[in-house]
């Protein structure tokens, strides 16, 4: 799905060596919650960061849900060499704002965030995927321009058409957000923002209108701050954007 390998003039021997040493992972299916059709919220991350396989997204979400229900916010997936991530907390935590707005759950907060049980439950109402689909090891795993262009144009766009979301949460307010507008949307109707904190707008894909939000990625500097949740909560509950 990307040109970084295909564009190289490698011999068959080079390709065999690459597969043996780099062990590139397979493209994975999106996570689709069993209540996705209720609100049709799609969350879009950047990539898997050297992890993958057909059911990789499902394994990560199910692993996170058990920790979230116990009140954890930094998910470590049991790896000794991995300090953990806030991403799998912030994705469903932001989704709870929509669940509250539409009366599916009541607003309950602990230290400014929804309670763990509601955060874990929010995964049932969303779909989760990434813009860049393959995650080779080492330097090859860093998204290049061809990976951004090809993965979004040929795979992510088809996922969006198939899932027909009403709301898309895009994690990353620079490349991920801008490439989504350029390579997934057929038309941008509006694009607004709250400074450099949150972006939001409306667009059309395959004749269907959707609302989209650009949110700082939780792994970026300041991306896991509580104020981001508060900004998003304010936009969603006070403005006619979703």
DSSP assignment string, 119-138: HHHHGGGEEEEESS----SG
Number of Cβ atoms within 10 Å of the Cβ of 10:
13
For 67, residues 6+ apart whose C-beta sits below 8 A from its C-beta are: 75, 76
pLDDT at position 203 over 60: yes
pTM: 0.86
- Under the banding of pLDDT at 50, 70 and 90, the label for residue 166 is very high
Asked if 73 contacts 113 with a C-beta cutoff of 8 angstroms, the reply is: yes
pLDDT tens for each residue of 13-62: 554 454 445 555 567 889 999 999 999 999 999 988 767 677 888 988 99
> How remote is the C-alpha of 46 from its chain's centroid?
6
pLDDT > 70? residue 187: yes
For the chain, what percent of residues have pLDDT higher than 90?
A: 60
Q: What is the pLDDT of residue 84?
A: 73
Q: Place 120 in a pLDDT band, splitting at 50, 70 and 90.
A: very high
CA-closest candidate to residue 26, choices 134, 142, 131, 150 = 134
Residue spans of alpha helices (H) in 51-170: 56-68, 87-101, 116-122, 145-151, 157-163
Side-chain half-sphere CA neighbours of 139 within 13 A: 1
How much is the mean pLDDT over the chain? 85
Measured CA distances, 219 to 18, 69, 126, 222 (Å): 29, 22, 20, 8
With beta carbons less than 8 A apart as the criterion, state whether 79 and 91 touch. Answer: no
Structure confidence at residue 117 (pLDDT): 96
Quote the tokens at residue 34: 């069993």
Total residues belonging to the chain = 242
Evaluate if residue 8 carries a pLDDT over 80: no
Task: Say yes or no to pLDDT of 122 above 90.
Answer: yes
Is the predicted pLDDT of residue 167 greater than 50, yes or no?
yes
User: Does the pLDDT value for residue 189 go beyond 70?
Assistant: yes
What SS3 class is residue 39? coil
Edge-to-edge strand ranges of the sheet holding 198-205: 31-32, 126-130, 41-45, 167-171, 208-215, 198-205, 187-194
In 3D, which of 202, 207, 197 has the Cα closest to residue 232?
A: 197
As a whole number of angstroms, the distance between CA 58 and CA 45 comes to 14
pLDDT at 135: 61
Domains and CATH numbers, the chain: 3-238 (3.40.470)
3-state SS, residue 104: coil
Give percent above pLDDT 70 in the chain.
79
Question: Alpha-carbon distance 184 to 193, whole Å?
Answer: 20
pLDDT band at 136 (very low <50, low <70, confident <90, very high): low
174/211: higher pLDDT: 211
Per-residue pLDDT reduced to its tens digit, 81-117:
556 799 999 999 999 999 999 999 999 998 889 999 9
């Amino acid at each position: 799905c990307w040109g970084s390998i295909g564009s190289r003039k490698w011999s068959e021997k080079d390709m065999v060596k690459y597969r043996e040493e780099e062990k590139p992972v397979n493209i994975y299916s999106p996570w689709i919650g069993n209540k996705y059709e209720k609100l049709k919220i799609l969350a879009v991350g950047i990539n898997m960061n050297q992890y993958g396989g057909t059911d990789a997204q499902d394994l990560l979400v199910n692993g996170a849900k058990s920790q979230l229900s116990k009140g954890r916010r930094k998910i470590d997936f049991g790896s000794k060499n991995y300090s953990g991530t806030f991403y799998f907390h912030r994705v469903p935590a932001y989704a709870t704002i929509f669940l509250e707005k539409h009366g599916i759950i009541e607003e309950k907060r602990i230290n400014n965030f929804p309670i763990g049980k509601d955060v874990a439950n929010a995964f049932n109402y969303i779909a989760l995927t990434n813009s860049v689909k393959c995650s080779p090891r080492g330097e090859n795993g860093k998204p290049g321009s061809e990976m951004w262009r090809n993965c979004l144009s040929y795979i992510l766009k088809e996922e969006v058409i198939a899932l027909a979301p009403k709301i898309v949460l895009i994690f990353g307010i620079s490349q991920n957000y801008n490439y989504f507008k350029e390579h997934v949307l057929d038309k941008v109707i509006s694009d607004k923002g709250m400074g450099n904190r949150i972006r939001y707008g409306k667009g059309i894909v395959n004749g269907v209108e959707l609302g989209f939000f650009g949110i700082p990625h939780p792994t970026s500097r300041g991306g896991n701050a509580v104020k981001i949740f508060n900004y998003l909560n304010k936009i969603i509950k006070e403005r006619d954007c979703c």
